[in-house]
Structure 1
């Protein structure tokens, strides 16, 4: 199995790498974007824009609109700072935003935990199958639902 190995960033290091990655893409790291990223990175499970807005509102003592968070999350997904768990309409911070690749989510139906794995042979197979069918793949979405080891 071909796996993709990379360093996992956490805490302030993750925020620093995310900021650098966003700025290299030509975007600005604003205070609001920084707050959204930091809130997203605190969640241990995939978080919706509403979850993030609620966490930010509690910290700021004022209401943060979920639609503003959605726009920033879309930017983060496009810049590789976050990954969208499609089946849950939720997001996770990308622990290695400086490394562009496809990922596969393993989502526990019991506890909601989502773990991502990197397997280049699987994602390459999906991309090649799409190309063989005359389709130009942009972002393969591979999600496996089931039970994690803790819930099994």
Structure 2
């Protein structure tokens, strides 16, 4: 889908409320419609990311999986994460080496994140204009972007009040 399919994206940023169950359902539906295999392990990793509500590191996912599955090992977790990333169901926040659920798992898109350095929350801002502007700037410099993740660090409103 493009910005034209989501009118709320045309005129500026849009934030989302976290709905873990709805997110997991949307990913399952996207997998079914695309003919992708959402194995039990992939589904469980997805659920753990969704339930966390904040960015989660791979080793934290592994620790939780080890409590549930005796055979859980780093390669199995990373393969599940790779599947979820490749299909745009989650985002990787490189600056903090953590994973977060995507608010539009039915489409591939680039979004900026506001990451709080105090509480580690990450807010996905859906603003087509930001992604378009970065792409235009790259092209003006003769640069061909392959991936784009804008991560802005600071202090969220809740932490600023505290």
Deviations 1:35-78 (A, max 9, x none): 111111111211011111111222x1525212221121122112
Aligned-residue RMSD, C-alpha: 2.2
> Per the alignment, do residues 47 and 6 of structure 1 end up closer, same or farther by CA in structure 2, a change over 3 Å counting?
closer
TM-score normalised according to structure 2 size: 0.82
After superposing on structure 2, the runs of 4+ consecutive aligned residues of structure 1 that deviate more than 4 Å are 4-9
Q: Who is 1:38 aligned against?
A: 47
Residue 117 (structure 1) aligned with residue 125 (structure 2): yes
The 2-side partners of 1:67 and 1:48 are apart by: 14
1:22 Cα deviation after fit: 2.8
1:79 Cα deviation after fit: 0.6
> Per the alignment, do residues 4 and 108 of structure 1 end up closer, same or farther by CA in structure 2, a change over 3 Å counting?
closer
Q: Who is 1:88 aligned against?
A: 96
> Structure 1: which 5+ runs fail to align?
none
1:132 Cα deviation after fit: 1.5
1:3 Cα deviation after fit: 2.9
TM-score normalised according to structure 1 size: 0.87
Deviations 1:4-58 (A, max 9, x none): 6698673433222102223444421111111111111111211011111111222
Q: Which has the larger helix fraction? A: 2
Question: Does structure 2 conserve the Cα–Cα contact (< 8 Å) formed by 1:106 and 1:143?
Answer: yes
Q: Who is 1:18 aligned against?
A: 27
> Per the alignment, do residues 111 and 68 of structure 1 end up closer, same or farther by CA in structure 2, a change over 3 Å counting?
same
> Structure 2: which 5+ runs fail to align?
1-9
The 2-side partners of 1:32 and 1:78 are apart by: 16
The 2-side partners of 1:20 and 1:76 are apart by: 14
